[in-house]
Structure 1
Amino acid sequence: MTTAMGAALRRIQLGNALSAFGNGFTVPFLFIYVSQVRDLGASTAGAVLAIFAVAALAVLPFTGRAIDRRGPLPVAIAASVTAAVGSMGLGLADSEPLVIAAAGLLGAGIAVIQPTLATMIVWCSTTATRSRAFAMQFFLNNLGLGVGGLLGGLIVDTDQPSSFVTLFSIEAVMFLVLGAAVATVRLPRVPRVDDAVPTDDRANGGLRALLGDRAMVQLCALGFVMFFACYGQFESGLSAFAVEVTRISPATLGVALAANTAVIVLAQFVVLKLVERRRRSRVIAAVGLIWTVAWVAAGASGLVHGSQAIATAAIISTYALFGLGEAMLSPTVAPLVADLAPSSRVGQYNSAFALVKQLALAVGPAVGGLMAGAGMYVAYIAMLIGCSLGITVLALRMGRRLTPAQDSPFRAPAPVPTPRAEREPVTASV
């Protein structure tokens, strides 16, 4: 990696960390803010949370083509400004229509930021450095969210709406800082995904060509199951199970969530050294087994009678095991999406995978919430154990379709270098 590209990547990562820091100020308190502080009720607060998913699903189908045609920089800047306007709007809105409109802008902006930053990281990295770059992004995201949430908890006061205006103002400023950071980045005109990607006519196609890429379709199906079985359950079925069946307190649930973040932050780079030279499909398969153990531990916590300490430890272990799996996936899945993409379709591949993630995050809480509400906890745990085992099976099947360079770049034969014209840097132009 050149010095210039290293500097560009550092700016992208800094902007990403600061935006996550700002996001952490508001995410834990959004439901309380809408329902209690603005006195709009729980139904409106639920609608606001749903709007985030709806907005993401509305904009992501068009995001990839915009990134590939205009470049990721102008799209990232526009998304950052949109998210900042939405965040500030939420802080000032005092009626249901305004709150929902602001949430739509914020959700759309955040949804677009994700694939643009992923594409920029691809453009500023090589096959050999990409896993570490995405691991760093995931680490900084979690660190920023955690620190932001901690500081936000010190500022927030449900009796003082002005304290929430402060939180949303900080978030808006951080999005603008992200936009300013990426505006100064200089990228190569061609993404560095050669030597690990197919070179056939898929590079000239659109959605039809992407759907014709069997490996990418299998990765998207695998991604849906992963996000459904993990992230999609944190705030719905799993938390309900922990409180209703395991009988832990909400405060202890907060400790479990903190354990998840702590494992990610503390273990990320240790895990990276262990997995970056191994086959990606097998790393993902191992995550499926780890999450199977996590769901078995969660189920066992509801069967322990007479020892609340053991039951509580089992639930905390569940969240910690999820964090370990997430740390293994961060240097594995996103680089694989990039290495599957033809060089002219990196934005579309990243956006397609982000769309799959949003679908899972919309369906997962709905299914988990409905099953928890109906008291179907045995069926719920059994379903998610099956999903986790399915991750292992799907990952191994996908591995058969991957080339050696896609599945394990460090172990693949070195490509024969070919002459190439010097890349010209590109800056943002809106």
Structure 2
Amino acid sequence: MSVSRVAGAAMRRIQAGNALSAFGLGFTVPYLYVYVAQTRDLGATTAGAVLGVFAMAALVALPFTGRVIDRKGPLPVLVGASLLAGAGAVAMGFASSVVAVVFAAALLGAGTAVMQPALATMIVWCSDPSSRTRSFALQFFLQNLGLGLGGLLGGQIVDKSRPESFLLLFGIEAVMFLVLAGIGLTIRLPRPATPVGAPAQGTAKGGLKALLGHKAMVQLCVLGFVLFFACYGQFESGLAAYGTEAAGIEPATLGTALAANTAVIVLAQFLVLRFVERRKRSRMIGAVGLIWTVAWLLAGYAGLGEGSQAMATAAFIATYALFGLGEAMLAPTVAPLVADLAPESMVGQYNSAFALVKQLALAIGPAVGGPMGAAWHAPYIVTFVLFSLGITVLAVRLGRQLTPMQNQPYLAVKTRVVAQHKPVEQVGTAV
């Protein structure tokens, strides 16, 4: 079997497993707070602590994950993480005490966090720079589709007065993780390809020191923190609090807004991809900053109270929709860029470092945005308008650190077409 056929077969299995695990997460994530606080009657404080443990478990596990991936390969890490998450889901379904739910949350949080860099590294190994953009876009599409469908079906099953309904939800989630582990055991990975513009392998053995010495990667991590802090870190905390307190949004409308976000991602992902993949990555990330600036201004309008409640509600839903458009633009841009910056022997460490940055943003974002959104309405909007504009500034600065091929991988496709008659050495020199 040719390398391309091996990679194609592996990629199909990876994407299928990715979709199924997202489907399982969608069954439980929206209802975890209700389950701990109300169904198990452990209180809001314990429920908040459980959500915090999710983040802390990821922060503890991820610093070690990348080096293990690079030494042992992503497959064993994925299978181990899937089994760990499955055990956490089962434990959560049976947990009825504070100690039990915290322990289950630690298993579940660590397992699901470690899966992400393992899956990302597998996608890198099974793609080349010309196909990587579409591969990561498909992963993001399937994740959101799986989460959306899982949440929708889970909502039809869940009953906060019946613990057994949650046991069914967590059982389905555990089965999905076991299926992912089973799929992982059937995958035959090709040898990893060297990312575009990456340093030679001999320069990649410095671990964290080498990563911190890579200026473009450090700038991308800073940019990533701002991206996740200003968007995902606010969805279910600061922005939700602002909507209900300042804009008078009904709690049910928050679900509609989140559905609009998911719908835009699912419907627009591949239309956006055709626009994004031929353009400079730094410019597309900068454009996302401008789109999100408009989104935050719409949220500000919703909270002014100048128009009707219907107009405020429409503006608030449009805010979430615009966030979805930006997310669809980022999916084929940021994750492939992490891969293309990584030396061949450090792909796992680069993916894990970026996942760690994301988790930090998701942990700090609600802690900062929640109180601001609930009490300091105008400063909250101004702060995140400035953060969004900061995304554009940081993206422009990052673009200056990237090689032409890292910033616009479509050039590699054009170069190969133009240079087919040239010897391999000449093509490599051109790149």
Question: TM-score normalized by structure 1?
Answer: 0.95
Give yes or no for contact 1:193–1:338 (8 Å, CA) kept in 2.
no
Q: Distance in 1 between matches of 2:14 and 2:276?
A: 24
| Equivalent in the alignment of 2:398 | 398
Q: Residue type of the partner of 1:211? A: L
| Equivalent in the alignment of 1:290 | 291
| 1:258 to 2:259 alignment | yes
Larger deviation: 191-200 or 215-224?
Answer: 191-200
Structure 2 runs not aligned, ≥5 long? 427-431
Q: Secondary structure of the equivalent of 1:226?
A: helix
Q: Distance in 2 between matches of 1:62 and 1:17?
A: 25
Larger deviation: 337-346 or 406-415?
Answer: 406-415
1:365 Cα deviation from its structure 2 partner: 0.4
Q: Within 5 Å, which residues of 2 pair with 1:6-405? A: 6-189=8-191, 191-199=192-200, 201-373=202-374, 375-405=375-405
Q: Deviations over 1:86-130 (max 9, x none)?
A: 010000011100110000000000010000000000000010000
Q: Distance in 2 between matches of 1:104 and 1:254?
A: 27
Q: Distance in 1 between matches of 2:195 and 2:63?
A: 25
Q: Distance in 2 between matches of 1:302 and 1:195?
A: 46
Give yes or no for contact 1:284–1:329 (8 Å, CA) kept in 2.
yes
1:302 Cα deviation from its structure 2 partner: 1.1
Q: Secondary structure of the equivalent of 1:291?
A: helix
Distance 1:2 1:418, change over 3 A: farther
1:203 Cα deviation from its structure 2 partner: 1.3
1:196 Cα deviation from its structure 2 partner: 3.0
Give yes or no for contact 1:127–1:196 (8 Å, CA) kept in 2.
no
Give yes or no for contact 2:201–2:344 (8 Å, CA) kept in 1.
no
Q: Deviations over 1:173-193 (max 9, x none)?
A: 00010111111111123x223
1:160 Cα deviation from its structure 2 partner: 1.1
Give yes or no for contact 2:158–2:166 (8 Å, CA) kept in 1.
yes
1:159 Cα deviation from its structure 2 partner: 1.6
Give yes or no for contact 2:117–2:352 (8 Å, CA) kept in 1.
yes
Task: State the aligned residue count.
Answer: 417
Q: Distance in 1 between matches of 2:220 and 2:395?
A: 8
1:11 Cα deviation from its structure 2 partner: 0.2
Larger deviation: 116-125 or 303-312?
Answer: 303-312
Q: Distance in 2 between matches of 1:400 and 1:138?
A: 27
Give yes or no for contact 1:197–1:341 (8 Å, CA) kept in 2.
yes
Q: Distance in 2 between matches of 1:283 and 1:265?
A: 19
Question: TM-score normalized by structure 2?
Answer: 0.95
Q: Distance in 1 between matches of 2:103 and 2:254?
A: 31
Structure 1 runs not aligned, ≥5 long? 420-430
Q: Distance in 2 between matches of 1:346 and 1:335?
A: 11
Q: Deviations over 1:340-377 (max 9, x none)?
A: 0000000000000000000000000000112234x111
Q: Distance in 1 between matches of 2:134 and 2:343?
A: 21
1:306 Cα deviation from its structure 2 partner: 4.5
Q: Deviations over 1:311-344 (max 9, x none)?
A: 1111011000000000000000000000000000
Q: Secondary structure of the equivalent of 1:39?
A: coil
Q: Distance in 1 between matches of 2:367 and 2:196?
A: 41
Q: Distance in 2 between matches of 1:348 and 1:371?
A: 34
| Equivalent in the alignment of 2:424 | 417
Give yes or no for contact 1:196–1:409 (8 Å, CA) kept in 2.
no
1:401 Cα deviation from its structure 2 partner: 0.6
Q: Distance in 1 between matches of 2:13 and 2:309?
A: 47
Q: Secondary structure of the equivalent of 1:171?
A: helix
Q: Distance in 2 between matches of 1:417 and 1:213?
A: 28
Percent identity over the alignment?
67
Q: Distance in 1 between matches of 2:344 and 2:122?
A: 13
Q: Secondary structure of the equivalent of 1:302?
A: helix
Q: Residue type of the partner of 2:44? A: A
Give yes or no for contact 1:202–1:210 (8 Å, CA) kept in 2.
no
Give yes or no for contact 2:117–2:348 (8 Å, CA) kept in 1.
yes
Q: Deviations over 1:273-309 (max 9, x none)?
A: 0000100000000000000000011001111435111
Q: Residue type of the partner of 1:396? A: V
Q: Distance in 1 between matches of 2:370 and 2:203?
A: 40
Q: Distance in 1 between matches of 2:167 and 2:368?
A: 33
Give yes or no for contact 2:196–2:341 (8 Å, CA) kept in 1.
no
Give yes or no for contact 2:196–2:406 (8 Å, CA) kept in 1.
no
Give yes or no for contact 2:75–2:118 (8 Å, CA) kept in 1.
yes
Larger deviation: 385-394 or 299-308?
Answer: 299-308
RMSD (CA atoms)? 1.3
1:248 Cα deviation from its structure 2 partner: 1.2
Q: Distance in 1 between matches of 2:252 and 2:231?
A: 21
Distance 1:37 1:289, change over 3 A: same
Q: Distance in 1 between matches of 2:195 and 2:39?
A: 52
Q: Distance in 1 between matches of 2:216 and 2:227?
A: 16
Q: Distance in 1 between matches of 2:159 and 2:425?
A: 61
Give yes or no for contact 2:223–2:395 (8 Å, CA) kept in 1.
yes
Q: Secondary structure of the equivalent of 2:193?
A: coil
Q: Residue type of the partner of 1:15? A: G
Give yes or no for contact 1:68–1:347 (8 Å, CA) kept in 2.
yes
